[in-house]
């Protein structure tokens, strides 16, 4: 039997009929609420993005009290993609950072959340301790880890010397492994946030669902793999995209700790854009960093699109 869905009188009016006073008031109210947000979005997102794309086609160098613009077309893009080895290294570093966060941060956050879900001994303390680093800003995290890892007076080297392992002391942020230490710093900083979100979703899973799996003979590992993870799939997909986007544009922690050193080993795309835009000795051209930023924006958009397609779930478990 077909059921006709009643329509409101507003939807039955003809195209030439003017909207009713009530509908006009509703539209005016909605516009009033949306307008401030749209203005801020246009001012701080749309305009800077449009201006950056526009500037990327020009060579912009100081000239007296102003700046001289010279149209170069795709010259900056060609230079960045064919000649700038530092830019390619920065793209590799940023991509590795994003892959690290997806492969390490999200699984670790799930394991921590699951340990709290099953109430391991001391879980109340762990819940606070694991989340606490998230309350600090990335700048403070960078300063803290720089203090821990520096060669002279650093906490790590001091501890090694104290226990008689001074031969292992090293300039950790000046070694080829400096990027790995920064990976650990960001994981320590952000994993608590992902843990809390995952724990919230885990607490929403009915205990009856897990009890039914136990009755069916499922082990703890099978419960996680066949029950918990499928239920959490939409959340985990969202967290993966969030952490991927955040790590692809890492700046503050690197800038505070290493400024991209040693010799570009920890350079990220954003730090290199800032270096070329404001600190590059001998050549000041705001058009070139704009081109690098546009290239990286397109790479990020492509990565997010591919992740969304891969993680898109068609069969969701409902309970």
**Which pLDDT score, from 0 to 100, does residue 319 have?**
41
- 160, pLDDT greater than 50: yes
Our separate counts of H helices and E strands in the chain read 15, 2
| Cβ pair 167, 82 in contact under 8 A | no
Nearest-5° Cα angle at 226, 220 to 230: 125
Q: What is each CA distance from 233 to 73, 81, 191, 309, 317, in whole angstroms?
A: 44, 37, 18, 14, 9
- Least confident piece of the model among 122-136, 138-152, 166-180, 279-293: 279-293
163-193 pLDDT, tens per residue?
A: 988 889 888 988 888 999 999 999 999 999 9
73-93 pLDDT, tens per residue?
A: 999 999 999 999 999 999 999
The band of 13, judged by pLDDT with boundaries at 50, 70 and 90, is: low
- Going along the chain from its start, the domains and CATH numbers come out as 75-311 (1.10.3720.10)
**Which pLDDT score, from 0 to 100, does residue 85 have?**
93
199-223 pLDDT, tens per residue?
A: 999 888 888 888 788 887 878 888 8
The band of 282, judged by pLDDT with boundaries at 50, 70 and 90, is: low
- 297, pLDDT greater than 60: yes
The band of 255, judged by pLDDT with boundaries at 50, 70 and 90, is: very high
């Amino acid at each position: 039997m077909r059921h006709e869905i009643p329509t409101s009188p507003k939807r039955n009016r003809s195209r030439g009929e003017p909207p009713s006073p009530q509908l006009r008031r509703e539209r005016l109210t909605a516009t009033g609420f949306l307008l401030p947000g749209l203005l801020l979005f246009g001012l701080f997102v749309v305009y800077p993005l449009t201006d950056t794309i526009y500037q990327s086609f020009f060579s912009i160098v100081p000239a007296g009290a102003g700046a001289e613009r010279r149209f170069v077309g795709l010259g900056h893009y060609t230079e960045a993609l064919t000649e700038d080895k530092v830019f390619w290294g920065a793209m590799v570093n940023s991509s590795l950072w994003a892959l690290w966060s997806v492969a390490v941060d999200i699984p670790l956050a799930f394991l921590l959340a699951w340990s709290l879900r099953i109430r391991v001994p001391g879980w109340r303390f762990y819940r606070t301790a694991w989340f606490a680093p998230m309350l600090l800003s990335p700048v403070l995290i960078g300063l803290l880890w720089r203090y821990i890892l520096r060669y002279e007076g650093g906490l790590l080297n001091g501890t090694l010397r104290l226990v008689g392992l001074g031969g292992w002391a090293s300039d950790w942020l000046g070694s080829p492994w400096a990027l790995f230490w920064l990976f650990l710093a960001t994981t320590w900083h952000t994993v608590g946030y992902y843990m809390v979100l995952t724990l919230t979703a885990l607490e929403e899973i009915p205990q009856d669902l897990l009890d039914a799996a136990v009755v069916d003979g499922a082990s703890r590992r099978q419960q996680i793999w066949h029950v918990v993870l499928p239920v959490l799939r939409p959340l985990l997909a969202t967290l993966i995209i969030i952490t991927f986007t955040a790590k692809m544009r890492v700046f503050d922690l690197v800038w505070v700790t290493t400024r991209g050193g040693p010799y570009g080993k920890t350079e990220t795309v954003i730090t290199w854009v800032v270096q070329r835009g404001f600190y590059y000795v001998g050549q000041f051209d705001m058009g070139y960093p704009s081109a690098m930023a546009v290239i990286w924006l397109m790479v990020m958009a492509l990565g997010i699109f591919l992740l969304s397609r891969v993680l898109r779930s068609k069969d969701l478990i409902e309970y």
